Structure 1
Amino acid sequence: MEYLLENEFLQAAVSSQGAELVSIRDKAAGRELMWQADAGVWGRHAPILFPYCGRLRGGAFTHRGVRYEGGQHGFARDMEHALVEKDEAHVSLCLEANVLTMEKFPFAFRLVNTYSLEGCSVVHHVQVENQSGEDMPFSFGYHPGFACPFDAAHGTQDYVLRFSSPQTPTVVEVDEASGLVTGGTHTLFENVTDIPLTDHLFDHDSICMKGLTADTLSLVETGTGRGISVDITGFPYVLVWSVKGPVRFVCIEPWHGLPDSAGATGEWLEKPATVHLAPDESWGTQLRMAFQL
């Protein structure tokens, strides 16, 4: 089921399947701002990544001697989420541990995704509750895909990825074939504010950055000033990604987590770059996407 949100500036739609934001429209221009999930290119809009980000080494992890198999980015994006509450400009959806999730992740949890329209911004708040009797390590990541170019009059060369302050990001190296962290790092950009968008920027898959101090990372149309600003404050990792070839969308992905490393033991309690949540505790994070229309 899709839930529709609206305010003076924006219309949005959130699907109960995966609690996924599937549409944001500029009301004045009638323009769709999100990637519309062309299955021949990339068949998603803005999936949520839980309880891990990226791939598991060997496609599985082990906890207390039991092996749990899992695909890329966890399972929450592929499950039905129940409605908690809704009004004109916000909706909350919930996924709770059940028989199916316990086969993939042996912890009792409650995951609540809340979307709110605030002026020309969409705010996506996440709360995770540990309802288990033991510590629960997990990761969470955002993966919104924005339509780019914004219209037929512009091309890839008209866009930049813009930090709110000059950055020299450390790039976390990920093996392109396996999707696993290699342990290496390098510097791809030095003291930059703008990264020009090109049709070859993502030839080797995503760019995973750490050590960022900027408040926002934006996708900007240089000739008009139109853009999308993503608040990246407090996120240890931020990825940018699109499919290879001509740019049709750009994902800006703040993550609390990383894929497994090539040398990972597979023991869930030893997985690095995770949030550790004590029993009966809760944890929250928030993504703000501001649209310069």
Structure 2
Amino acid sequence: MTTTISNSILTASIKHAGAELSSLKNNDSKEYIWEGNPNFWGKHSPILFPIVGTLKNNTYEVNGKEYQLPRHGFARDMEFQLIEKTGNSAVFSLESNEETLKKYPFEFELQLIYTIEGTSLNIEYIVINKNDEKMPFSIGAHPAIALPESFESYSFKFEKEESLKFNLLENDLISNKTETLKTTNNVVPLNYKLFENDALVFKTLESNSLTILENSKPYLEVDFEDFPSLGIWTKDQAHFVCIEPWFGYSDTSNNSGNLFEKEGILILEADQTFYSQFSLKIL
């Protein structure tokens, strides 16, 4: 099942499965979200919760008990409920249940709010801790931006001039090895070789936004001011790139396994609510 929202400029479609954005078109029907071709990658823009990335041995521990979670958690594979809708906005909800408690022993509600304003799609995350104790979690976005031209026709322009140091992944875990992206006037040309070791993981950035350029012209801007970390990823020869604002990332190889001690984890106090948002702006 899919819900569609729009204004006079943009139309967005969101699947109830995973509350996943599956389409973002302008009024010329130009598509900005990856089609989900399974020969490369069969998703469009999954929600990452209650972890981002991969756990060591896909296992973690809370209060002395072990639990298992797949990469990026379970929210992307679950059915959300549409709880509110207007012409240009929609609110989706996922609540903890018997199935989630087996994998993640906390009561929660996760809400996704999609709102189109002008040439932007704003995506808000609300996490409600419904326990009488602290709740550890990570949350992140994974939108795949469609790149209809040749991959090398595109480049990134970061908002600020900075040293773009990223951590390398080894066996899906964060290693201590780092590299730095070379830039010219804050611009990084795209090529598939950048991703030969999987995603680029930026634990911290000074920039709050990144603009994708198509043949040196602005194409789409991702604003992630609320998020401390960023992942960038694609598959070899695929016509998309994922710009992924994150709270948290994969385990390090020396991680203790205790979810409360996980690097980058958020700790939400009892009965409290977490809020963040990012946006996709068509240029």
Quickly name the TM-score band, shorter chain normalised.
Answer: over 0.9
The answer for the alignment partner of 2:145 in structure 1 is 146
Alignment of 1:1-293 (within 5 A): 1-27=1-27, 29-149=28-148, 154-175=149-170, 178-189=171-182, 192-223=185-216, 225-244=217-236, 246-292=237-283
C-alpha contact (below 8 Å) 2:112/2:123 kept by paired residues: yes
TM-score, normalised by the number of residues in structure 1? 0.93
**1: CA distance, partners of 2:140 / 2:75:** 11
- Runs of 4+ more than 2 Å apart: 183-192
Offset, 1:44: 0.3
SS of corresponding position for 1:258: coil
**1: CA distance, partners of 2:265 / 2:182:** 26
**1: CA distance, partners of 2:222 / 2:255:** 31
C-alpha contact (below 8 Å) 2:226/2:277 kept by paired residues: no
1:45-100 deviation line (CA, Å, top 9, x unaligned)? 00010000000101111112221111110000000011110011000000111001
**1: CA distance, partners of 2:57 / 2:204:** 28
Count of residue pairs the alignment pairs up = 283
Q: Specify the code of the residue in structure 2 equivalent to 1:216.
A: S
Q: Which runs of 5+ in 2 are unaligned?
A: none
1:89-115 deviation line (CA, Å, top 9, x unaligned)? 000000111001001100011100000
Offset, 1:190: 5.7
Offset, 1:271: 1.2
Q: Specify the code of the residue in structure 2 equivalent to 1:259.
A: S
RMSD: 1.4
SS of corresponding position for 1:201: helix
C-alpha contact (below 8 Å) 1:167/1:191 kept by paired residues: no
**1: CA distance, partners of 2:175 / 2:191:** 26
Offset, 1:191: 7.0
Q: Specify the code of the residue in structure 1 equivalent to 2:45.
A: A
Offset, 1:173: 2.4
C-alpha contact (below 8 Å) 2:92/2:112 kept by paired residues: yes
Q: Specify the code of the residue in structure 2 equivalent to 1:57.
A: K
1:136-178 deviation line (CA, Å, top 9, x unaligned)? 11101110001113xxxx3222210111222212212221xx2
**2: CA distance, partners of 1:254 / 1:262:** 22
**2: CA distance, partners of 1:25 / 1:155:** 20
SS of corresponding position for 1:200: helix
TM-score, normalised by the number of residues in structure 2? 0.96
Offset, 1:226: 4.2
Deviates more, 1:39-48 or 1:159-168: 159-168
SS of corresponding position for 1:280: coil
SS of corresponding position for 2:152: helix
**1: CA distance, partners of 2:192 / 2:6:** 34
